[in-house]
């Protein structure tokens, strides 16, 4: 069964994606990439889907607060991998798991595999994953190492019929980096901020021609 994306993603782009889909969410800093991903997770939570967030920017407690504002569903399954080693997650034991730094790709992978087992044990077979962000990881690891890690990570999502969304800031990287990482994803949601204000979004990939730019706000 497809994953409905909700009203956050304008209908001309895609109102749903199939199980196993991995999406690159590309846009400049402060363009709302994380908010978009959390809204898609929250929409799923209201339908009984589980949520997993990997954060390499802000602490797990902050991400959890943002998520709960969007998805106040008490019984929702949510797990967060905090890769910045932040403190203040003590009252979220069992929800937030920490690794030492965004460069600890092995640790992130181990925690993700443990969450996969935990979700299965709790009878949760539909999961939406948000990764914030690949740009932060590229400050710690080189492109080749990140590509190998993401190849395994996205294949895990695909094999379990989950969906994944991965944020990146294209302005922070050479075109070669973006082009290389694009190979790992089924499609891209591109966000831009025009000079006259507002935000616009379009979709590329997903087996279709690029869509037109449409308002996101």
Question: The whole model's pTM is what?
Answer: 0.96
167-183, pLDDT tens digit by residue?
999 999 999 999 999 99
Q: Tens digits of per-residue pLDDT, 14-61? A: 899 999 999 999 999 999 999 999 999 999 999 999 999 999 999 999
Q: Over the Cα atoms of the chain, what is R_g?
A: 16
In a domain, 3, yes or no: no
Residue 7 is assigned to a structural domain of this protein: no
Whether residue 6 lies inside any domain: the answer is no
When divided into structural domains, the chain yields a total of 1
Asked if the model's pLDDT at residue 153 lies above 80, the reply is yes
**Would you say 197 and 53 are in contact if contact means Cβ atoms under 8 Å apart?**
no
Would the pLDDT of 186 be above 90?
A: yes
Residue located via tokens 């997993």 = 52
pLDDT band of residue 72 (cuts 50, 70, 90) is confident
Mean pLDDT for 4-13 is 92
Q: Would you say residue 8 lies in a domain?
A: no
In a domain, 125, yes or no: yes
Handedness of CA 1, 205, 82, 74 (dihedral sign): negative
pLDDT confidence band for 93 (50 / 70 / 90) = confident
pLDDT-based confidence at residue 134 (cuts at 50, 70, 90): very high
Q: Is residue 2 part of a domain?
A: no
Predicted local distance difference test score (pLDDT) of residue 116:
97
* Domain of 195, in residue numbers: 15-212
Instruction: Using pLDDT thresholds of 50, 70 and 90, give the confidence band for residue 73.
Output: confident
Q: What pLDDT shows up at residue 75?
A: 86
pLDDT of residue 83: 96
Kindly indicate the confidence band of residue 88, based on its pLDDT and cuts at 50, 70 and 90: low
In a domain, 9, yes or no: no
CATH, residue 173? 3.40.50.300
Q: State residue 86's pLDDT score.
A: 77
Residue 10 lies in a domain: no
Report CA-CA distances (Å) from 27 to 72, 151, 179, 197, 201.
27, 22, 14, 15, 9
């Amino acid at each position: 069964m497809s994953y409905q994306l909700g009203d956050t993603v304008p209908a001309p782009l895609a109102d749903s994606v199939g199980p196993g889909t991995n999406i690159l969410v590309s846009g400049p800093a402060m363009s709302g990439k994380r908010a978009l991903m959390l809204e898609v997770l929250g929409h799923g939570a209201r339908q009984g889907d589980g949520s997993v967030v990997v954060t390499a920017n802000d602490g797990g407690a902050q991400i959890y607060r943002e998520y709960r504002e969007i998805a106040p569903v008490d019984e929702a399954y949510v797990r967060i991998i905090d890769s910045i080693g932040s403190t203040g997650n003590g009252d979220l034991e069992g929800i937030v798991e920490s690794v030492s730094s965004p460069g600890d790709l092995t640790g992130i992978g181990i925690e993700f595999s443990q969450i996969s087992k935990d979700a299965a044990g709790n009878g949760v077979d539909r999961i939406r994953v948000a990764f914030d962000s690949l740009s932060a990881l590229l400050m710690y690891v080189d492109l080749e190492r990140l590509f190998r890690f993401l190849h395994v990570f996205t294949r895990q999502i695909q094999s379990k019929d989950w969906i994944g969304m991965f944020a990146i800031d294209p302005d922070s990287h050479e075109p070669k980096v973006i082009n290389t990482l694009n190979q790992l994803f089924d499609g891209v949601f591109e966000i831009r901020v025009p000079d006259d204000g507002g935000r616009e979004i379009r979709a590329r990939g997903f087996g279709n021609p690029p869509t037109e730019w449409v308002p996101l706000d």
